[in-house]
Amino acid sequence: MSEQVDVVVLGLGVGGEHVAGTLAENGLNVVGIEGRLVGGECPYYACVPTKMIVRAADLLAETRRVDGMAGHAEVTPDWAPVAARIRDEATDDWNDQVAVDRLVGKGVTFVRGWGRLAGPGRVEVDGTVYEANRGVVIGTGSAPFVPPIDGIEGTPYWTNRDAVQVKELPESMIVLGGGPVGLELTQGFARFGVRVTIVEMAERLLHNEEPESGELAARILESEGVDVRVGSGARSVRHDGERFTVTLADGSDVSAERLLVAVGRYCDLGAIGVDAVGLDPSAKFVEVDDHLRAGDGLWAVGDVAGHGAFTHMAMYQGDIVIRDVLGQDGPAADYRALPRVTFMDPEIGGVGLTEAQARDAGLAVRTGSTQVPSTSRGWIHKAGNDGFIKLVADTDQGVLVGATSAGPTGGEVLGALAVAVHGRVPVEQLKHMIYAYPTIHRGIGDALREL
Ligand SMILES: Cc1cc2nc3c(=O)[nH]c(=O)nc-3n(C[C@H](O)[C@H](O)[C@H](O)COP(=O)(O)OP(=O)(O)OC[C@H]3O[C@@H](n4cnc5c(N)ncnc54)[C@H](O)[C@@H]3O)c2cc1C
Ligand SMILES: NC(=O)c1ccc[n+]([C@@H]2O[C@H](COP(=O)([O-])OP(=O)(O)OC[C@H]3O[C@@H](n4cnc5c(N)ncnc54)[C@H](O)[C@@H]3O)[C@@H](O)[C@H]2O)c1
């Protein structure tokens, strides 16, 4: 059986749901296909539940900071309200009926199933082929990557999808991977009393960010009792029915009740049949141009497009695809000022290039930095004031090309820096701006004086 439509959106995660809904609101006949849950990873297994864990863990940490600052407080961590909030408020017990209704309300024809490309402009799902006269949008996202570590297969390891569903916390946990997923969940679980060992094979945590970011994250986690192992990946995994033992590349063993694998994501392009439209099924991502076009009448958005796995990226790219499908003019994708925030405490945000990336790109680099505790607001804040602001300037152009903001509100302070990088605001102009006193973002002014 085949059906003629205007657009098929394959995968209704953050990006696909946005594209499908908006195109339907613009009068197109849109079919949206989703195999799991409309909304994708972010609301059910990723951003939202993990930020609920972070929020609860931060409340515990703030309460523990009362002594010496505002009296005396004792807190008894209880995971039950966190698990209930994730189940009841965030995910409707992993039921997407509300999201499906919202999408259908916008005019999308919703199909539950696992679709596959069946040729240019054609997508097959459960025996029906949808023929799209305007085009197909691939928004199939990514899945947790589980590396082929000796012995891991068949063990009851967790990924983020399991970790956000736990009703009772384990006594101990090994976390493989010191990226954002590993850090947010390590600190979240540790603050609830779980003994966590985090294992990162690179020389430092958050190794794609500034070295200062990884060093700060390690120092904070260690101060909270986390065993931080960097510079040695997992060589083998054993599970004896009760506990995991992970042998690291340096020969040492770590052991715990649970193992969380958080070593990145992967896209299975073979599973969505990209070869049927002439693309390489073994590629890591769908290759796209600056309008997210992957071919004639073919677009990709979000994680699968390979420019960064963030919800704001999927939404940003979704807007470009929507304009392109509707034949509207608009700017091409510009990733210079991509912001990213790891929501541990302190929040560690970055935008644009790190110092090393800027130097590798051959730019004339100068950096300036300031420590949050030495800003007026950071000093007043006292307990929990760790953090820094680092600016990376291209001295030939006289603009910032990157920045890092770590601190109690590091992700919020990053907003000002993202505007500066995005808008190519001259450093001289930034130096002569008024920064409110006493804010943490006033530290930007201090860091600028070093440029
Ligand atoms: C633990 C964790 C925390 C995160 N926290 C943040 C955060 O704080 N901020 C942030 O910006 N980003 C965060 N992210 C990243 C964010 O979740 C992703 O970048 C975002 O979900 C990507 O959206 P997407 O639309 O590309 O894909 P997804 O959300 O992955 O959605 C793709 C959808 O396509 C469906 N699908 C796949 N194949 C098919 C098929 N063949 N047929 C039908 N349907 C299919 C899938 O079932 C899925 O629902 C986090 C990620 C993780 C893992
Ligand atoms: N706050 C946010 O915006 C947020 C939060 C979580 C995730 N995300 C997105 O999701 C993506 C995935 O996050 P992630 O943290 O899983 O991946 P990641 O790629 O950012 O980090 C994974 C880490 O695991 C390490 N690693 C790989 N193999 C290993 C091994 N065998 N043993 C030990 N360490 C190993 C890598 O060196 C790397 O540092 C990120 O790229 C990010 O875009 C965003």
The minimum-distance atom of ligand 2 relative to the CA of 144 is: 16
The minimum-distance atom of ligand 2 relative to the CA of 303 is: 43
Q: Which CATH entry fits the domain spanning 2-39+96-142+267-326: 3.30.43.10, 2.130.10.10, 3.40.50.300, 3.50.50.60?
A: 3.50.50.60
Kindly give the distance from the C-alpha atom of residue 26 to the centroid of ligand 2, in angstroms, as a whole number.
37
Q: Return the CATH fold of 339-449.
A: Enolase-like; domain 1 (3.30.390)
Q: What is the pLDDT at residue 26?
A: 98
Which segments in the chain show pLDDT lower than 70? none
The minimum-distance atom of ligand 2 relative to the CA of 149 is: 31
- Please give the biggest Cα pair distance in the chain: 72
2-39+96-142+267-326 shares its CATH topology with 160-263: yes
Cα separation, 321 vs 368, whole angstroms: 37
Ligand nearest to the CA of 350: 2
Residues lining ligand 2, Cβ inside 6 A: 147, 149, 176-182, 184, 199-202, 207, 233-234, 262-265, 308-310, 340-343
Per-domain residue ranges of the chain: 2-39+96-142+267-326, 160-263, 339-449
The minimum-distance atom of ligand 1 relative to the CA of 13 is: 31
Instruction: Give the containing element (helix H, strand E) for 41.
Output: helix 41-45
Which residue matches tokens 């899945």? 143
**247-299 pLDDT, tens digit each:** 999 999 999 999 999 999 999 999 999 999 999 999 999 999 999 999 999 99
Interface ipTM? 0.98
Kindly give the distance from the C-alpha atom of residue 181 to the centroid of ligand 2, in angstroms, as a whole number.
6
Tell me the torsion sign for CA atoms 312, 408, 60, 185. positive
Provide the whole-model pTM.
Answer: 0.98
Instruction: Give the containing element (helix H, strand E) for 187.
Output: helix 180-191
Q: What is the pLDDT at residue 117?
A: 98
Q: What is the pLDDT at residue 402?
A: 98
Q: What is the pLDDT at residue 438?
A: 98
Kindly give the distance from the C-alpha atom of residue 301 to the centroid of ligand 1, in angstroms, as a whole number.
11
Which residue matches tokens 């009362």? 66
Q: What is the pLDDT at residue 162?
A: 98
* Superfamily (CATH) of domain 160-263: FAD/NAD(P)-binding domain (3.50.50.60)
Kindly give the distance from the C-alpha atom of residue 96 to the centroid of ligand 1, in angstroms, as a whole number.
14
Cα separation, 11 vs 138, whole angstroms: 7
**16-36 pLDDT, tens digit each:** 999 999 999 999 999 999 999
Ligand nearest to the CA of 31: 1
Tell me the torsion sign for CA atoms 149, 177, 195, 218. positive
What are the helix (H) ranges across 262-409? 311-325, 355-360, 376-381
